[in-house]
Amino acid sequence: MENRILGLHHITAIAGSAQRNYNFYTKVLGLRLVKKTVNFDDPGTYHFYFGDEQGTPGSILTFFPWEGIGQGHAGSGMATNIGYSVPAGSLDFWADRFKKFNVKQGTVEQRFDEQFLPFQDPDGLQVDLVVSPNADNRKAWETSDVKADVATKGFHSITLTLRNVTPTAAVLTDVFGYKLLKQEGNRYRFVTDAIENASIVDIIEAPNLAQGRSAAGTNHHVAFRVKDDNILMEFREKIASKGLHITPKIDRDYFFSLYFREPGGVLFELATDNPGFTRDEPLSELGTSLKLPKQYENDRKQIEKVLPVLQ
């Protein structure tokens, strides 16, 4: 791996019910809960990490399930659609499965020569299952109902909806090393060749669209992947040199992070591969117990009383 942005690391969204969120992503979509911890800034709220077996960067969808937060709505200045890569021939399986579980879904469509099935999670988060013409050799997490021949492989893409594509495009191309691949209407596709998968950022330019409301069913931030914290700090200098305000390095227990708001308003994060999710649980037991940041360990009993009990 080079000293480059390696596509998407994780995406973080907001939910309105921990139990409902857990049920949908593990039981319906068939992801693995790889870490059950709490929000660093609000330890009375869970922070769930869903992904493949190991929580490989590029597969990790995380949630802050704030109980009863109310409904948000997607709009300008947000990441609005998450794209998951699925195998060819799997969309009929997913359409039938979504019908069985009363999941709100659209019909199969085509964009950039790719078939995709749009659906919404129970909070209204917009997700697309995408069949890419390029082979995705990532190992899927299997469940008894969702086998490898249909299971999600990890992220395909993230879509940003912005009033002006140009300033954000400059960050993607000049700082992150992405290139504009093609355009369809007001949708611009940017890709990086630094990684084979989870390598796409789409931007929809919608100059007259109202700002979104950040609450249940919306994305909180998008994290891009770097190999380690040395490369992380190299990118900190690059981003600061563009006049963008960026945080100091933050230890998130399972990766190191930087945060900044890109010119279109979306909160971007850079996150490292190290140290990973097995630093405090063996691979076979990921997500099975509540893990707390060390500053909250002394308050474990109180925190456990506040958090909803997952069934």
Please provide the size of the chain in residues: 311
CATH assignment of 8-306, among 3.10.180.10, 3.30.360.10, 3.50.50.60, 3.40.50.1110: 3.10.180.10
Cα 12 to Cα 60: distance, rounded to the nearest angstrom: 9
Type of residue numbered 164: N
The set of residues, in sequence order, having a beta carbon less than 8 Å from that of 224 and lying 6+ positions away, is 5, 6, 7, 8, 9, 176, 268, 269, 270, 271
The set of residues, in sequence order, having a beta carbon less than 8 Å from that of 141 and lying 6+ positions away, is 30, 31, 32, 51, 52, 53, 151
Question: Digits of tens for pLDDT over the chain (311 positions)?
Answer: 569 999 999 999 999 999 999 999 999 999 999 999 999 999 999 999 999 999 999 999 999 999 999 999 999 999 999 999 999 999 999 999 999 999 999 999 999 999 999 999 999 999 999 998 888 999 999 999 999 999 999 999 999 999 999 999 999 999 999 999 999 999 999 999 999 999 999 999 999 999 999 999 999 999 999 999 999 999 999 999 999 999 999 999 999 999 999 999 999 999 999 999 999 999 999 999 999 999 999 999 999 999 999 99
What is residue 214's three-state secondary structure?
coil
Cα 62 to Cα 250: distance, rounded to the nearest angstrom: 17
276: its two tokens:
């990973």
Instruction: Say if residue 275 is preceded by a cis peptide, omega within 30 of 0.
Output: yes
Cα 16 to Cα 72: distance, rounded to the nearest angstrom: 10
The DSSP line for 104-148 is -B---EEETTEEEEEEE-TT--EEEEEE-SS---PPPP--SSS-T
Cα 240 to Cα 220: distance, rounded to the nearest angstrom: 22
State if pTM tops 0.85: yes
Taking only Cα atoms into account, the Rg of the chain, rounded to an integer number of angstroms, comes to 18
